[in-house]
Amino acid sequence: MKAGSLTCLAAALGLVSIRSAALAQSPLPDTQPPGWTYTVVSGATFVDECPPCGRPDILEPVNGTFRLRLLRVTPLSSNFAVENIALTSTRPGSPDRVITGSGNLEYGGELALRQTWVLNLDVDDGFTHHQAVFTNQTASPDRLWPMLSVNLTQTNGTFTQVFHLQLPAAPFQEIWFSTRSDLTAGTLPKPDAAVSDGDLLAHTGRVVRRQSALIGAFGFVPPNTGLGLDAVDILPGGEIAFSLKNGASSEQAGQVQSGDLLSDRGQVLRRNQDLTEGFGVKPDAPDAGLDGFQSIPGGEEYFSTRDAFHAPSLNADIGRGDLLSNHGRVVKSNAELLAMFQPMDPGTDFGLAAFHVWPSGEVWFAVEQGFTTTDGQSYAAGDLLSDQGYVVFRNLELLRSFSPLEKLADFGLDALFIVSDVEAVPGPLSFTKFAATPTGLRLDWSGPGRVYRLWGMDDPTSPGAPVGDITPDPGVVIPWDGSARRFFRLQQW
């Protein structure tokens, strides 16, 4: 990584901004350290090895989070604190193994990228604690920054026990998505347990928006919450942009096509033909559907369609699995998205049900039709994949926190939105209202972010704790009886 890239990296990591305010509107110091939250993705494992025993290694799947904070940048590399490591490995029939701690990561290099990890971890299996030091044996990163993946080995193990930790992770707080099939969440109480294909979900196990709330402002005739949810994006100010699987008639907007981009505020943001106009498609052309959508900084809009169509401006046919731009270009063909997986039939268009393009250019996506690779690996339509050739989450991993009662191998994946510190928004962000309500305290705010999180603390010098969930709403009501002074901060993405 060159010095110029490291300078950009330092600037990027400084984007995490938490603004301060209190009931008295007094200025407070920013005590939340800048950094990125990472979440462990598919393929993470903890291994308990006994080198002289000859027994099979004990391999356990791992999930959890950690935080990466930039310490310094040199001409050749960047040095990070790895903090708040909170991992859990699952052991059937035994207590989960809890892994906590901190460490250091050096990332960079003059001629080739290298990574050097040193982690000091407490490994608690429910019976014993091990103070284990881990480092990596292979220095070359195998994922595109800011994605991380490392194989760590314990350096202070014993003759009969050595731990290993395979740690792939990505910088996100939450993944928001919808499913193709309805499900019953074993983790939610009735009637909230019923989840439809039109609801917007978070991988942490909560419903971000019910479809009834998304479409409520449209006044569809007849009222219908079974319209599905195909594409979703959150726009500045928390406006939710989305498309439906089926068209419908609206008292507010007239006839709505399945390929139209709608707003939860009751407006049609883009007709389907507005998106495809850059390809020379006529205004009276048939609706091609809208499977995925993402607004890109600078005004460009990426999308995918349900149906293939002809592009007169390119004199070419556009596939339903191609990633497109409203500027009339193919960002990536379906074949390019899948190239590193090497599907058995590379000529097949597997569709593009959902996608997210990272600032690095890496694309996370889900296909409409599952496929098998030349080495016999199978991928379902609901799996979240990377165009770099790895699985982000299998479909059931993405739904783990919901514990679906239905015994389906794949519930599908349609809408997709990523809450990531990589794309955090710097100010201006400020509170606009504090008001007592019958149920607590109403706090409203204004800022250019797409989603927000409120932090609360009794002491203005402490980092505090989240108050409620990450939300696109520009305000919340929180329990508060007025008996003690409370301070609040806002974070936006």
28 belongs to a structural domain: no
Among 401, 419, 437, the domain-final residue is 419
Q: Report whether 87 contacts 64 (CB < 8 A).
A: yes
18 belongs to a structural domain: no
Q: Report whether 391 contacts 364 (CB < 8 A).
A: no
| Range of the structural domain that residue 267 is part of | 175-419
Q: Give the model confidence (pLDDT) of 81-95 as tens digits.
A: 999 999 999 888 889
251 belongs to a structural domain: yes
Question: Which DSSP letter does residue 11 get?
Answer: H
H or E stretch covering 469: strand 465-471
Q: Do residue 371 and residue 289 come from a single domain?
A: yes
Q: Do residue 143 and residue 60 come from a single domain?
A: yes
- CATH of residue 143's domain is 2.40.160
Q: Determine the Cα–Cα distance for residues 246 and 252; give it in Å rounded to an integer.
A: 17
Confidence (pLDDT) at 184: 98
Confidence (pLDDT) at 221: 81
Q: Determine the Cα–Cα distance for residues 291 and 288; give it in Å rounded to an integer.
A: 9
Among 127, 149, 170, the domain-final residue is 170
The pLDDT confidence band at residue 233, using thresholds 50, 70 and 90, is very high
Helix (DSSP H) and strand (DSSP E) numbers for the chain: 5, 41
| Residue 21 scores a pLDDT above 90 | no
6 belongs to a structural domain: no
Mean pLDDT of all residues belonging to the chain: 90
Q: Determine the Cα–Cα distance for residues 357 and 310; give it in Å rounded to an integer.
A: 24
Q: Determine the Cα–Cα distance for residues 197 and 21; give it in Å rounded to an integer.
A: 39
Kindly state the average pLDDT of the residues 266-288: 96
Q: Do residue 162 and residue 259 come from a single domain?
A: no
Q: Determine the Cα–Cα distance for residues 188 and 205; give it in Å rounded to an integer.
A: 8
| Residue 331 scores a pLDDT above 80 | yes
Would you give the distance in Å from CA 345 to the centre of its chain? 29
The pLDDT confidence band at residue 20, using thresholds 50, 70 and 90, is very low
Question: Which DSSP letter does residue 319 get?
Answer: P
Confidence (pLDDT) at 26: 32
Distances (CA, A) of 227 to 267, 347, 354: 16, 32, 17
Among 152, 170, 188, the domain-final residue is 170
| Residue 27 scores a pLDDT above 70 | no
Task: Kindly give, in sequence order, each residue whose CB lies less than 8 Å from that of residue 189, ignoring residues fewer than 6 positions away.
Answer: none
Q: List the structure tokens of 322.
A: 């191609």
Q: Do residue 216 and residue 326 come from a single domain?
A: yes
Q: Do residue 257 and residue 369 come from a single domain?
A: yes
| Residue 104 scores a pLDDT above 50 | yes
Confidence (pLDDT) at 8: 32
Bond preceding residue 222 cis, omega within 30 of 0: yes
Q: Give the model confidence (pLDDT) of 410-420 as tens digits.
A: 999 999 999 99
16 belongs to a structural domain: no
Q: Do residue 315 and residue 227 come from a single domain?
A: yes
Q: List the structure tokens of 206.
A: 């909560």
24 belongs to a structural domain: no
Q: Do residue 283 and residue 309 come from a single domain?
A: yes
Q: Report whether 268 contacts 218 (CB < 8 A).
A: no
Listing from the earlier edge strand, what are the strands of the sheet with 220-221?
220-221, 248-250, 254-256
| Residue 9 scores a pLDDT above 80 | no
H or E stretch covering 13: helix 3-13
The pLDDT confidence band at residue 121, using thresholds 50, 70 and 90, is very high
8 belongs to a structural domain: no
Q: Give the model confidence (pLDDT) of 290-309 as tens digits.
A: 999 999 988 899 999 999 99
CA-wise closest residue to 333 among 292, 387, 279: 387
H or E stretch covering 53: none
Would you give the distance in Å from CA 436 to the centre of its chain? 34
Confidence (pLDDT) at 424: 74
184 belongs to a structural domain: yes
Q: Do residue 366 and residue 479 come from a single domain?
A: no
Q: Do residue 253 and residue 164 come from a single domain?
A: no
Confidence (pLDDT) at 297: 87
How much helix, strand and coil, in percent to the nearest 5, is found in the chain?
10, 45, 50
Query: By three-state DSSP, how is residue 9 classified?
Result: helix
Would you give the distance in Å from CA 236 to the centre of its chain? 17
Q: Determine the Cα–Cα distance for residues 406 and 404; give it in Å rounded to an integer.
A: 5
Bond preceding residue 146 cis, omega within 30 of 0: yes
Q: Do residue 332 and residue 183 come from a single domain?
A: yes
CA angle 42, 43, 44 (to 5 degrees): 100
Q: Do residue 121 and residue 214 come from a single domain?
A: no
Per-position b or e across 285-316, b if 16+ CB within 10 A of its CB: bebbbbbbbbbeeeeebbbbbbeebebeeeee
Q: Comparing 40-49, 109-118, 265-274, 370-379, which segment has the lowest mean pLDDT?
A: 109-118
Domain count, the chain: 3
Q: Which residues pair with 235 in a beta bridge?
A: 239
Type of residue found at 254: G
Distances (CA, A) of 135 to 119, 148, 157, 167, 227: 7, 14, 12, 12, 50
Q: Do residue 237 and residue 381 come from a single domain?
A: yes
Q: Comparing 38-42, 61-65, 353-357, 459-463, which segment has the lowest mean pLDDT?
A: 459-463
